[in-house]
């Protein structure tokens, strides 16, 4: 089942971007991000009012209004000088019709999800794109709608994209609240010419066949994991992360690796002193690591403790070191432990938590999404061992999207505790009634 493209155009800001904002220089943190895109897929339930033309026109109109505030998204990236030409060229906006039903997608393989996105997710293909944000609106036979977005990670992080989607959705449903991003990151972490011409590696990437699975932890499973962490007031993310790291260690060990290292981004907005607002535009994260010998991976409490300690290293002093004219030197100091862990031969597992950022609060006027997820193109040969954690629609569970090399996945997916987990993120039967 493939979607049929019915229209494609560029949505420009409703008013032109002022001349003094024409060139948007990436912040130092933006400059250190790999040139890939963040795929977000929002699936909304069937609606009794299914006027596709009116819905599309309203979405385009509200998007044009929001782009006056998120103006870099309507520009074109210049990777050579790490900037965005805010020329108001527009956001690539595609409309498609999908012959199936919402439950077909939820029960589907990863391949079907890829048809809902506006372009291929192949790394080399994406790297050649100058557009910053791409959108595809998919209409299903049953009246459901899927909104898929791709955003350049060199311009925005997940928090910025969720803020953008909330602002767009609010405007679309008629909210009078004006949401405007804060562009202070360019001042706090100013652009560094010394980073120009340096290639940012796609950390942990390798080549070969790989596979992707989803595992859903409900509130009961998470409570059980929390009780085993030994931490005071463990979070959902800590409990599930430590467990999945333990599972990865088993797969890594059986693939000939003696050590493993988990690499994950931490949001700097709340860790700065004083804290930065969540409305700060751009990338405002830093990577941290935790490592362990794979044959010691059975000690679940140690893994949970290591994860908490790795996040605690990123404090107010850590953020301050990266600010101002000397920020690049501070960045290099901060990255020493990460570089040491990654250069020691340990098996890297990239990690990202999409939990607790209100992604299920995005409401375009049709109600909140029944499922929010991401996608991976496993037709390409390049991959990185990667796990992304997302909230479930109920808010008390976690959906884990696991992307591993084929040989790793064979071991990982055979672990008894994982085989007992529900693979579907929600009750499909309820969508069919």
- What residues are annotated to the active site? 153, 363
- Phi-psi region for residue 285, left (φ > 0), alpha (ψ -120 to 50) or beta? beta
Q: Using alpha carbons, list the distances in angstroms from residue 14 to 7, 64, 73, 74, 155.
A: 20, 5, 13, 11, 21
How far is 164 from 176, CA to CA, in rounded Å? 15
**What's the CA angle centered on 49, arms 45 and 53, to 5 degrees?**
100
Retrieve residue 173's tokens. 């449903």
Question: What residues form DSSP beta bridges with 388?
Answer: 352, 401
Is residue 283 within 8 A of residue 132, CB to CB? The reply is: no
H-assigned helices in 219-359: 219-229, 236-254, 300-312, 316-321, 327-334, 336-343
Between vectors from CA 424 to CA 422 and to CA 427, what angle results, nearest 5°?
Answer: 105
Between CA 160 and CA 155 the distance in angstroms is 9
- Paired tokens of 316: 């107010």
- Backbone φ and ψ for 63, nearest 5 degrees, come out as -65, -40
DSSP calls for 337-374 = HHHHHHHTT-EEEEEEE-TTS-GGG--SSS---SEEE-
Q: What 8-state DSSP symbol labels residue 396?
A: S
The bridge status of strand 386-391 relative to strand 347-353 is parallel
Closest CA to 362 of 139, 161, 99, 106: 161
Buried b (16+ CB within 10 A) or exposed e, 121-137: bebeebeebebbbbbbb
Instruction: Give which of 41, 43, 36 is closest to 156, Cα–Cα.
Output: 36
């Amino acid at each position: 089942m493939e979607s049929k493209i019915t229209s494609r155009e560029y949505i420009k800001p409703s008013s032109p971007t002022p001349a003094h904002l024409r060139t948007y220089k990436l912040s130092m943190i933006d400059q250190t991000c790999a040139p890939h895109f963040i795929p977000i897929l929002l699936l909304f339930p069937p609606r009794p009012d299914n006027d596709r033309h009116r819905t599309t026109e309203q979405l385009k109109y509200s998007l044009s209004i929001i782009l006056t505030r998120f103006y870099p998204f309507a520009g074109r990236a210049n990777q050579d000088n790490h900037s965005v030409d805010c020329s108001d060229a527009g956001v690539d906006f595609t409309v498609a019709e999908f012959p199936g039903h919402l439950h077909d997608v939820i029960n589907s393989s990863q391949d079907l999800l890829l048809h809902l996105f506006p372009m291929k997710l192949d790394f080399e293909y994406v790297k050649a794109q100058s557009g910053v944000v791409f959108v595809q609106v998919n209409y299903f036979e049953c009246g459901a709608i899927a909104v898929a977005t791709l955003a350049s990670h060199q311009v925005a992080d997940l928090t910025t994209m969720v803020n953008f989607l909330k602002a767009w959705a609010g405007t679309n449903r008629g909210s009078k609240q004006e949401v405007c991003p804060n562009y202070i990151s360019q001042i706090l972490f100013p652009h560094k010419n010394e980073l120009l011409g340096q290639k940012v590696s796609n950390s942990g990437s390798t080549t070969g066949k790989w596979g992707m699975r989803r595992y859903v932890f409900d509130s009961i499973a998470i409570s059980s994991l929390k009780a085993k962490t030994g931490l005071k007031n463990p979070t959902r993310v800590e409990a599930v992360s430590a467990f999945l790291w333990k599972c990865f260690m088993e797969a890594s060990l059986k693939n000939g690796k003696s050590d493993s290292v988990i690499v994950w981004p931490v949001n700097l907005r709340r860790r700065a002193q004083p804290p930065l607002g969540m409305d700060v535009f751009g990338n405002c994260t830093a990577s941290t690591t935790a490592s362990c010998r794979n044959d010691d991976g059975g000690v679940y409490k140690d893994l949970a403790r290591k994860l908490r300690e790795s996040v605690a290293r990123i404090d107010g002093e850590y953020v301050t070191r990266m600010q101002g004219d000397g920020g690049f030197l501070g960045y290099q100091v901060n990255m020493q432990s990460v570089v040491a862990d990654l250069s020691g031969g340990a098996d890297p597992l990239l990690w990202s938590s999409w939990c607790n950022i209100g992604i299920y609060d995005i409401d375009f006027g049709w109600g909140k999404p029944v499922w929010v997820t991401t996608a991976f193109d496993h037709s390409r040969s390049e991959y990185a061992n990667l796990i992304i954690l997302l909230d479930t629609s109920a808010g008390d569970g976690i959906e884990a999207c696991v992307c591993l090399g084929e040989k790793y996945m064979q071991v990982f997916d055979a672990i008894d505790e994982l085989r007992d987990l529900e693979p579907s993120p929600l009750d499909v039967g309820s969508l069919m009634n």
